[in-house]
Amino acid sequence: MPHRSMTFAKFIIEDQRRRGGPDAELTALLNDVQTACKLIGVTVSRGPLHRHRTAPGTAPGINVHDEEQKPLDVTANEIMLDTCSWGGKVCGMASEEMAEFYAVPPPHRKGRHLLVFDPLDGSSNIDVNVTVGTIFSILRAPPGDADPTEADFLRPGTEQVAAGFALYGPTTMIVVTLGAGVHGFTLDREVGNFNLTHPDMRVPEETGEFAVNMSNERYWEPPVRRYVEECVQGKAGPRGKDFNMRWIASLVAEVYRILIRGGLFMYPWDTRDAARPGRLRLLYEANPMAMILEQAGGAASTGRERILDMVPTALHQRVPLILGSKAEVERIVRYHEAHDRGEDRVFDSPLFNTRSLFRLPAGAAGGT
């Protein structure tokens, strides 16, 4: 098939030509990102064989989110910073692993773009050898030669120039959108090229899968409990079909599965910490994944607001995230709307509300 010989670099150039002219700086930045992903992928593949060398002051510990940093988190962050700084294509970067944004220092030339990224998504799975990845988003920098400010990064997802993620699993892949479809590239390890293997990816409309961390169900809002219960009821419930539940706890792996097989992923708002607006970060997790899902025919929402319409208020702002097959996302959005109007107050959940699966009715005998 012709697309088998289409490399990532060639595809970016062809895409720019189709848009009416090359954007050499964006092309070069995307090539820097793919180089960084190759290096991170090699490091991840070595696992405990890799000796982590980190710069002074960047040793693993607790990051800005009060989460444990793995040595590979720090290494992956340094790889992305080093690889994308020297080419003169960005003027600033922001990462999950840094409390503040990074302004590209002299003598590097300042470019016309901003790069935000999660250097190693799903790193809590490293020790159990589960697929992890890198998520990235590219924005235009403001005009002029001034150093970037935090406000320059706080732009809605609709202003993303490109977004993508890398997968480090049985194969190493990059999935990317430049605003006109979603395309997947697989690393040919013998040659060293990412080759186009999944052109024009589309989220299947029909689905029988959903992904959510069921251990948190006692904290969910009624709309989320309603959706999950209907799926769990299967053919006997209002959906009239059986569903399978998945949970990998690696956003890159969850989204890739949805691109291939359809489905729904949820990390909704819950009441564990009512003051915290969500779990996942808007700029470098929710926004790039929302752009990819929408470009592939899916949808992404907080349950009450389209992810890409949100205007960030901080670099590390958290949001609820519900994404996947469009009809499933729209269904749970309707449930949130009904709940907010007070129309689901009579909703009685035998699984999650008035009684549990294993509690005996009043007056029933116990024991075996």
Are both 46 and 157 inside the same structural domain? yes
Q: What is the dihedral of CA 240, 242, 245, 246, to 10 degrees?
A: -110
Rounded mean pLDDT, 138-156:
92
How far apart CA 322 and CA 329 sit, in angstroms, is 7
Is residue 201 over pLDDT 80?
A: yes
CATH value at residue 52: 3.30.540.10
Does residue 356 carry a pLDDT above 60? no
Kindly state the average pLDDT of the residues 70-93: 92
CB 186 within 8 A of CB 193: no
- Residue 353 predicted with pLDDT over 70: no
Q: Is it the case that residue 55 has pLDDT exceeding 50? A: no
pLDDT band at 306 (very low <50, low <70, confident <90, very high): very high
Residues 44 and 166 in one domain: yes
The answer to whether residue 58 scores a pLDDT higher than 60 is no
Q: What single letter denotes the amino acid at residue 335? A: Y
Paired strand residues for 172? 168
- pLDDT computed for residue 105 by the predictor: 85
Same domain, residue pair 70 and 182: yes
356 carries a ligand binding annotation:
no
Beta bridge partner(s), residue 160: 139
* pLDDT 10s digits, 211-257: 999 999 999 999 999 999 999 999 999 999 999 999 999 999 999 99
- Over residues 88-92, mean pLDDT: 93
- Which residues are within 8 A (CB) of 260 and not within 5 positions of it... i.e. 6 or more apart? 201
192 and 218 co-located in one domain: no
In this structure, the answer to whether residues 163 and 26 fall within a common structural domain is yes
Q: Is 129 annotated as a binding residue?
A: no
The per-residue pLDDT for 108 is: 79
Residue 122 annotated as part of some ligand binding site: yes
- Same domain? 179 vs 229: no
- Domain-embedded: residue 355: no
120 marked ligand binding residue: yes
Which residue segment(s) compose the domain that 321 sits in? Answer: 209-340
Whether 47 has a pLDDT exceeding 70, the answer reads: yes
Q: CA–CA separation, 141 vs 134, rounded Å?
A: 22
- The predicted structure's pLDDT at residue 107: 81
User: Do 313 and 334 sit in the same domain of this protein?
Assistant: yes
The answer to whether position 350 is within a domain reads no
282 is in an annotated binding site: no
Q: Final residue of a domain: which of 168, 198, 228? A: 198
Q: In what order do the strands lie in the sheet with 160-168?
A: 102-103, 90-95, 113-121, 132-140, 160-168, 172-177, 182-188, 193-198
213 a known binding residue? Answer: yes
The backbone region for 236, taken as left when phi is positive above 0, alpha when psi lies in -120 to 50, beta otherwise, is alpha
357 is a domain residue: no
For residue 340, say whether it is annotated as part of any ligand binding site: no
Does some domain include residue 265? yes
**Residue 353 forms part of a structural domain:** no
> What's the number of domains the chain is made of?
2
What are the angstrom distances between the C-alpha of 81 and each of 12, 24, 47, 75, 227?
22, 20, 21, 10, 41
pLDDT score recorded for residue 366: 43
Local confidence band at 17 (pLDDT 50, 70, 90 cut-offs):
confident
Kindly tell me if the per-residue pLDDT of 299 is higher than 90: yes
Pair (167, 315) in one structural domain: no
| Single residue among 175, 198, 221 that ends a domain in this structure | 198
Bridge partners, residue 139, by sequence: 114, 160
Cis preceding linkage at 107, omega within 30: yes
Residue 2 is predicted with a pLDDT of 47
Specify the pLDDT at position 26.
94
Q: How many percent of the chain have pLDDT more than 70?
A: 87
Q: Residue 59: which pLDDT band, with cuts at 50, 70 and 90?
A: low
- Are 175 and 241 found together in one domain? no
pLDDT tens for 168-192 read 999 999 999 999 999 999 999 999 9
**318, amino acid identity:** R
Q: Does a structural domain hold residue 361?
A: no
Residue 246 falls inside a structural domain = yes
Are 155 and 235 within one domain? no
Say yes or no to pLDDT of 106 above 70: yes
Judge residue 48's burial from the number of C-beta atoms within 10 Å of its C-beta, 0-12 exposed, 13-18 middle, 19 or more buried.
exposed
Please tell me the predicted confidence (pLDDT) of residue 62.
Answer: 63
pLDDT for residue 18: 84
From the number of C-beta atoms within 10 Å of its C-beta (0-12, 13-18, 19+), residue 214 rates as: exposed
Choose among 214, 272, 280: nearest CA to 243. Answer: 214
180 lies in the same domain as 44: yes
pLDDT for the residue 49: 74
User: The CATH number of the domain where 323 resides is what?
Assistant: 3.40.190.80
Most confident option among 99-108, 223-232, 335-344: 223-232
152 with 269, same domain?
A: no
Query: Is 285 labelled as part of a ligand binding site?
Result: yes
Domain boundary, last residue among 198, 233, 260: 198
The residue type found at 41 is G
Task: Supply the mean pLDDT for the chain.
Answer: 88
- Is residue 51's pLDDT more than 80? no
pLDDT at 56 over 50: no
Would 352 be classed as within a structural domain? Answer: no
